[in-house]
A and B are shown apart, each in its own frame.
Chain A
Amino acid sequence: CYTCVVSLHSLRMSIKFPRSFRLLEELEEGQKGGGDGTVSWGLADDDDMTLTHWNGMIIGPAKTVYDGRIYSLKIDCGTRYPEHPPHVRFVNKINLTGVNSSNGVVDIKSVTALSRWKNSYNIRMVLQELRQHMMMKENNRLSQPPEGQVYSN
């Protein structure tokens, strides 16, 4: 029966592929609008069977210089995710500590909440913590490049 096939297969899959299962859960959550509506994430390419390349989006928090902006991010979950953090970079130009101003690459260690990465952290957290990071005093007044500019890579 369908269920059985499904479940038995799952047995095997879950044991063998924790990374995929994790990412698949995250995919599902992203599609269902996990988080509080201020972040969004999903697979960059639906055919990406390795579940490596993700899009992320952060709504700039109110009462900061980022307000009104929607930031797009590229997130790569490598083979050692979630044991290792993903690689994150901004697509839209942003002036934010920890973000390389020439290519938008995020130094995840500079985001306090993510600096000690745990395998229970996920893409949603990355996005949410980055958003929180924007709200911090050191960041929320940094002058920003004009809206709409993107990094050239």
Chain B
Amino acid sequence: IILSLIVHFHLFFLPLLQFKEEISRRFKAKQDQLVLIFAGKILKDGDSLSQHGIKDGLTVHLVIKTAHKAGDGGSTSASSSTSTQAGSTSTSSPPTNPSSTTGSTGSAPPPTQTPNILTGFGDLAGLAGLGMGSANFMELQQQMQRQLMSNPEMLSQIMENPLVQNMMSNPDLMRQMIMANPQMQQLMERNPEISHMLNNPELMRQTMELARNPAMMQEMMRNQDRALSNLESIPGGYNALRRMYTDIQEPMFSAAREQFGSNPFSALGGTSESGAQPSRTENREPLPNPWGPPNSSNPSESGAASTGSTSTTGGTNPSVSNPLGINPGSLGNGMFNSPGMQSLLQQISENPQLMQNMLSAPYMRSMMQSLAQNPELASQVLMNNPLFAGNPQLQEQFRAQLPIFLQQMQNPEALSVMTNPRAMQALMQIQQGLQTLQTEAPGLMPSLMTGGIPGIPTGGGLPAENPASSPSTAGANPAQQQLMQQMLQMFAGGGGGGSTPEVRFQSQLDQLNAMGFINREANLQALIATGGDINAAIERLLGSQPS
């Protein structure tokens, strides 16, 4: 599986030229007859696949221009698609993986072989490159790639080579070699999961086994698929998970082109040792998960920071041309805003039943628990996520949000809300109301975005009229409270405000504090309820107190 990581490495570093070389061989056409198109762009020779964001599972169109032009009506641009599925299946045998072959006007070249090549050279280049030491890694890599491109059988030969097998059966050696690779080191720095993986001898051994035995690799993939197909029994669940899986790959990869630690295959490695693996969802556990619980060690700081950052993001008012109101750094939802994610999200949103099904799956629970228990992991990942890198405020913001959310997740009440389709529908209605609100008062949106996530489960619990109940579920954590207040404000329909309640009412809160009303939570609620009117708020507070 580690090799899969390396495959991706190489695939991305591979200049287009070599890709084209191989294709030209495969399709028996000259290189200058080949035109590669991806997502509406022509790939130029100097480009690399990664530069265009071409990732595993995506489709590159190949057009072969024949010498004959339209004049004589001869067979012309045969258009076919090859999917760049690298590393996902075995290398030595022609892959049976489904490549997105599309109909073509001309001949239908066997696209499945091309991914094989890529897979082949990828794996081998990785192996051999490592084997030869890290010094000339890049050149070696290139060489190997070239060789491999010209001779796919080489891979199987090499795999058969006892030396290689020997090497591979020695996990320590492999680990050393891998770690000697500076890029790998970088990668490991960024993604502790990889080092975990590497440091786990059991895992390494299994990986080596797998790498050595492509058939076994396929077998494992099939196991995964079988497990995944179990999910098919959940209506719609399978598709969602599948898309989610793929879609998560995308944001993961786009987080940093060279950052492969988030390669879902690393998850495969992580789960292989646990034996029967129910689903890919669980596999994501070892994935660097920026959405996992962040480091909860300093909630107060993050709480304060989150307030600050909220008002910062609040500064980006949506405009007509920018309906998302997105300031690119702002919504750590950078991940959520990624294409694939969004489409998945929409799918899920269209099917509230899906949520219920997914939630009721047993592995969900365990995943949640383990995520909750593993805050360092997520915080590290969070820090490493380049999306966040330039925006520490965002990080703080998320740190603040997620523990809340996580707690709520574990709150059985919240859970039951989410598994209750009617409750979800009610939530959606609230959302719709919010949307209307938004069109009426665009300035609200930033606070919606930031406060929304953790607020929702609570929102489900509270029918939006009872502000008092929700903070109780959140607990005494000041960060949580603040976010709760944001939610409250939104639900209470505070219109027109571009900032969060705490910010708006900061001075009032201070005054109340000074007067001896030390219950910040209650103060804020009162202020919200009275729209910032201190006197009225005081009356409320006094009225709610027994004496």
Contacts and interface: CB of A to CB of B under 8 A. Distances in A.
Interface string A34-62: 01111011111011011010111101111
Contacts of A21: 342-343, 345-346
A6 B39 contact: no
Given A16-B435, A60-B70, A62-B70, 13 more contacts: A1-B364, A4-B405, A5-B291, A9-B453, A10-B336, A11-B428, A15-B432, A17-B324, A32-B59, A33-B81, A33-B102, A40-B61, A70-B42
Interface residues of A, number: 60
Contacts, number: 228
Interface stretch (B142-150, B301-309, B348-356): B348-356
Nearest to A23: B339
A62 B76 contact: yes
A13 interface: yes
Contacts of A11: 345, 348-349, 424, 427-428, 431, 456
B34 to A, nearest CB: 12
Interface of A: 1-17, 19-21, 24-25, 27-28, 30-33, 35-38, 40-44, 46-47, 49-50, 52, 54-57, 59-68, 70, 72-73, 79
A36 to B, nearest CB: 5
Interface in B337-377: 337-350, 354-355, 358-359, 364, 367-368, 371
Contact of A62 (B77, B427, B448): B77
Majority SS at the chain A contact face? mixed
17 contacts: A4-B368, A7-B355, A11-B431, A12-B434, A13-B345, A13-B349, A15-B432, A20-B323, A32-B100, A33-B60, A33-B61, A36-B103, A42-B41, A49-B328, A55-B41, A64-B70, A68-B66
A65 B342 CA distance: 40
Given A5-B453, A7-B348, A20-B342, A42 B405 contact: no
A46 B40 contact: no
B interface residue count range (under 10 / 10 to 19 / 20 to 34 / 35 or more) = 35 or more
A61 B77 CA distance: 8
A4 to B, nearest CB: 6
Contacts of A60: 70, 77
Given A37-B103, A57-B41, A12 B61 contact: no
Given A33-B59, A46-B254, A57-B42, A10 B346 contact: yes
